[in-house]
């Protein structure tokens, strides 16, 4: 089923909500880990991020095939431009967060694991401390991952505020559509 002006397909809805919920949980865990030094959560965070990346790739391909959502009404040029910017930030951000996380972990010598399955071996010294294999790549990944998390919080907030604006002020059915209802 293809997306229409009146209703999104079940694939679009599933990808949107699964990725949105898991991604917001991942942001929350990431902020918690860094603010409270709770790095025991790192294996879960990394494993979930790598698996989520597979769904994210599917979502990006699906968006490319189906195009952007068809607006349900006529909006001002400013609203259309802002919506396009936020949607692009979200698409680029959901791609860059797992990629930068994997670069950070791999470059810093910590390896890549999915719930115990080794994808890239950790580079550890005899004391078990990670030895960077590409410190500049690890650092670049860390910088992108940290800045990207803050940008994604802003983009997600704007996205939610836009959806509420459509529902409360415009009363145009956009919010109903993303919950799987006909408008």
For residue 33, give both structure tokens: 């880990």
pLDDT value, residue 2 = 82
Model pLDDT, residue 78:
94
Three-class secondary structure of residue 130 per DSSP? strand
Residue 3 falls inside a structural domain: no
In a domain, residue 68? The reply is yes
> Which range marks the domain in which residue 161 is found?
10-178
> Which pTM value belongs to this model?
0.92
Across the 183 residues of the chain, what is the mean pLDDT of every consecutive 10-residue run?
85 96 98 97 98 97 90 90 96 98 97 97 95 97 98 98 94 90 80
Question: How many structural domains are present in the chain?
Answer: 1
**Within a domain: residue 83?**
yes
Q: Flag whether 32 is in a domain.
A: yes
Q: 132: burial class by Cβ within 10 Å (0-12, 13-18, 19+)?
A: middle
The answer to whether 155 touches 86, Cβ cutoff 8 Å, is yes
* pLDDT of the residue at 105: 97
Query: Could you tell me the two tokens for 10?
Result: 């079940």
Q: Degrees (nearest 5) of the Cα angle 29, 69, 148?
A: 30
pLDDT value for 182: 81
Kindly state whether residue 132 falls inside one of the protein's structural domains.
yes
Give residue 61's pLDDT. Answer: 95
pLDDT recorded at residue 6 = 86
**What pLDDT score was predicted for residue 4?**
81
Give Cα separations from 121 to 36, 105, 149 (angstroms).
27, 11, 26
Q: Residue 2 domain-assigned?
A: no
Tokens for 115? 């719930």
User: Tell me, what CATH number does 83's domain have?
Assistant: 1.20.950
Q: How far is CA 132 from CA 34, 98, 136, 172, in A?
A: 20, 19, 9, 52
Contacts of 160 (CB under 8 A, 6+ apart): none
Residue (of 75, 90, 74, 67) closest to 160 by Cα position: 90
Per DSSP, 124 falls in state: B
5 in a structural domain: no
Phi and psi at 160, nearest 5°, equal: -65, -45
4 within a domain of the structure (yes/no): no
pLDDT at 73: 86
As a whole number of angstroms, the distance between CA 174 and CA 183 comes to: 7
Joined tokens for residue 106? 């791999």
- At residue 165, the pLDDT reads 95
Q: Which residues pair with 109 in a beta bridge?
A: none
């Amino acid at each position: 089923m293809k997306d229409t002006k009146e209703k999104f397909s079940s694939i679009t809805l599933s990808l949107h909500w699964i990725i949105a919920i898991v991604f917001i949980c991942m942001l929350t865990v990431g902020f918690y880990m860094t603010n409270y030094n709770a790095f025991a959560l790192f294996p879960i965070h990394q494993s979930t991020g790598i698996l989520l990346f597979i769904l994210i790739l599917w979502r990006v391909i699906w968006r490319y095939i189906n195009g952007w959502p068809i607006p349900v009404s006529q909006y001002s040029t400013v609203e259309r431009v802002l919506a396009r910017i936020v949607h692009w930030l979200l698409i680029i951000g959901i791609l860059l967060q797992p990629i930068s996380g994997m670069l950070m972990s791999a470059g810093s010598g910590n390896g890549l694991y999915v719930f115990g399955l080794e994808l890239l071996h950790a580079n550890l010294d005899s004391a078990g401390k990670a030895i960077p294999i590409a410190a500049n790549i690890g650092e670049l990944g860390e910088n992108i991952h940290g800045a990207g998390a803050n940008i994604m919080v802003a983009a997600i907030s704007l996205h939610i505020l836009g959806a509420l604006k459509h529902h409360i002020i415009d009363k145009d059915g956009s919010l109903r559509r993303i919950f799987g209802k006909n408008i």
